[in-house]
Amino acid sequence: MLIEFLLGITVASALLVFMAPDCIAGKLAAGLSFLPLGTTAVMWSGFDASGNALRGGDIAFESRFEWFDLGSYALQWHVGVDGVSFPLVALTTVLTTLAIFSSWTPIDERQSQFYGLMLLVEAALLGVFVGLDFFLWFVFWEAVLIPMYFLIAIWGGPRREYAAMKFIIYTNLASLLMFVGVFLLVFALGDTLATLSLVDISAAIQNGGLGELGGFDPEVIKVAAFVLLFLGFAVKVPVVPFHTWLPDAHVEAPSPVSVVLAGVLLKMGTYALLRFNFTMLDDVLTNGWNAEILMFVGLVSVIYGAMLALAQRDLKRIVAYSSISSMGYVIIGLTALTAHGVGGATFQMVSHGLISGLMFMAVGVFYNATHTRMVGDMSGLADRMPWTAGIFVAGAFGYMGLPLMSGFAGEVLVFIGSFHTSLVEGAPIFTALAMFGIVIVAGYLLWAMQRTLFGPFELETDYEIGRAPLQDLASLAVLLGLVIALGVNPDFIYGAIQDAVEPLVRAGTGGDALSVLLGGGR
């Protein structure tokens, strides 16, 4: 019942913060956020699942019982984690706690509501990663949107209402496509399916339970469902050309909200792609040029996202477009369907969550001090805010793939996995072009750092600019420490990830991450 406790304590903490006076809401939320964080740490110490939850593997901390009937289907409370989902659960609790601490400086009105909504977002995100019944999972999936909408629309920038509305419209339309795709599969499975458990749906598909639907044969149904699901999840990732909501949401959202938005919410899309498209319907990739098309989509996201970032002058927009580029690597790794391709993509989800959270948090600290995010308006911040600047530089190098940082581990694993795939004609060419994206990333991040951190201090402001508050520096330092820890020892989570992705592998081999990074494995 640890998962129920985790969800329950997070929701209860949110309700308690809602009722607290503003003067103590921030401190109370920070203290209460350690409860789900501590629960996750306890769960990690007892985590012993192996295999993939949707492919008959062990499910850790599983609870399953009937909830109510919906027509001929029994809806269930079915929760649990495996090596794919549990690292994302841990990422959620870590980033939420640190985002709450970093909110103390910029959030100075309606604080009880803000922090209560932050904890509600955490609860809904946790539900997405632990839910194993489609109806339950979909409730959590949609529940994320509600508090996130208000966090952007109330505490955001000048165009906050536009950004929040655009976020809701894009993601709701995407949810509709995804919903239709899932029920195409459910209806085509017919009497072979008695529940909406993701485990049962996956097993029925793998056992050949799909039948004709509306005169279309099972293979057509599979492809149609794959396309609908991919389009639905691609908006959340986001994949080019469905990315336009993301920069607006990031620019207008408060920086602590951007930490959660980039660090965790985007992973909902890649996690769902892995669960649905690349687990339930992975054989669609073997038909025709499907794998080549998807790897090309990932490559376009890598290069185009990086080029867009190169053209920006707002630090937040630069980091936002960097996220689009980084998520392109995840798509490439998943499409490879090799041990290190899928495993590296999953590792990259966690790595990007930590690095993007660090970058957005650092940009927020700069903005709190200077009240501007425009690169052309700042210079010489390293002299006034040396610790923040130093951590920002380290995070930027993590984005560039500096060895012994998590960004290097994630990208190398993806490149190794995609280079060796047998599903994609010309995979080495796709991989080489994707690697070129790192060069572009280095270009715009080095340019941004040179303009904002170094040189003479020229910012004209009435505000006193000095060292960042202790809670901000501590949050940044913790994130940087985690980025380095996973870069030095990626097997801290990669072993569990490999156990969970191995049943999905079509080509390539596994192996521990450290030996791969040192050249000892494929």
Q: How confident is the model at residue 293 (pLDDT cuts 50, 70, 90)?
A: very high
Q: Is residue 172 a contact partner of residue 145, using CB atoms and an 8 Å limit?
A: yes
Given a cut of 60, whether residue 520 has pLDDT beyond it is: no
One-letter amino acid identity for 441?
V
The token duo for 416 is 């190794």
Residue count (the chain): 522
- Residue 521, pLDDT > 60, answer no
Instruction: Please tell me the distance from the alpha carbon of residue 139 to that of residue 52, in angstroms, as a whole number.
Output: 23
What would the two tokens of residue 266 be?
A: 């985007």
The gap between the terminal CA atoms of the chain, to the nearest Å, is 39
pLDDT at 462: 53
pLDDT score of 522 more than 50: no
Query: 56 in the Ramachandran plot: left (φ > 0), alpha (ψ -120 to 50) or beta?
Result: left
Q: Is residue 516 predicted with pLDDT exceeding 70? A: no
pLDDT in tens, 92-136: 999 999 999 999 989 989 999 999 999 999 999 999 999 999 999
d(CA 108, CA 234): 35
pLDDT in tens, 300-354: 999 998 898 888 888 888 888 888 989 999 999 999 999 999 999 999 999 999 9
* pLDDT reading at 26 higher than 60: yes
Closest Cα partner for 416 from 336, 319, 297?
A: 336
Stretch among 19-23, 286-290, 354-358 having the lowest mean pLDDT: 286-290
Instruction: Give residue 460's pLDDT band: very low, low, confident or very high (50, 70, 90).
Output: low
Lowest mean pLDDT, pick from 138-142, 146-150, 314-318: 314-318
Choose the weakest-confidence range: 64-73, 209-218, 272-281, 512-521: 512-521
pLDDT value for 507:
44
SS3 label, residue 329: helix
Report CA-CA distances (Å) from 450 to 268, 401, 503: 34, 19, 46
Compute CA distances 205 → 70, 277, 280, 282, 504, whole Å.
Answer: 21, 12, 7, 11, 14
Q: Nearest-CA neighbor of 164 among 175, 177, 178, 150?
A: 150
- The 3-state DSSP class for residue 460 equals coil
Helix (H, G, I), strand (E, B) or coil at 73: strand
Measured CA to CA in angstroms, residue 32 lies from 23, 119, 151 at distances of: 16, 9, 19
pLDDT tens readout for residues 381-393: 888 888 999 999 9
- Angle CA(16)–CA(122)–CA(267) in degrees, nearest 5? 175
pLDDT tens, residue by residue, 497-515: 999 999 988 644 445 555 5
The per-residue pLDDT for range 218-277, each reduced to its tens digit, is 999 999 999 999 999 999 998 988 888 988 898 899 999 999 999 999 999 999 999 999
pLDDT at 188 over 50: yes
Q: Can you tell me whether residue 96 is helix, strand or coil?
A: helix
Q: How many Cα atoms within 13 Å fall on the side-chain side of residue 289? A: 5
pLDDT of amino acid 73: 86
Inter-axis angle of helices 315-336 and 406-419, nearest 10? 40
In this prediction, residue 510 carries a pLDDT of 47
Q: What is the pTM of this model?
A: 0.93
CB 358 within 8 A of CB 391: yes
Tokens of 367: 């903005």
d(C-alpha 284, C-alpha 507), whole Å? 15
Predicted pLDDT of residue 250: 85
Nearest to 347 by CA among 217, 497, 508: 497
Asked if the model's pLDDT at residue 1 lies above 60, the reply is yes
Residue 337 near residue 414 (C-beta atoms within 8 A): no
Q: What value does the mean pLDDT take over residues 146-171?
A: 93
Q: What is the pLDDT of residue 37?
A: 97
Confidence class of residue 425 from pLDDT cuts 50, 70 and 90?
Answer: confident
Question: Which of 61, 69, 86, 74 lies closest to 4, judged by CA?
Answer: 61
Residues of the chain above pLDDT 90, percent = 65
Candidates 262, 257, 437; CA nearest to 364 is: 257
pLDDT band, residue 418 (cuts 50/70/90): very high
Q: Are 350 and 91 in contact (CB under 8 A)?
A: yes
β-sheet bridge partners, residue 60: 81
pLDDT at position 512 is 57
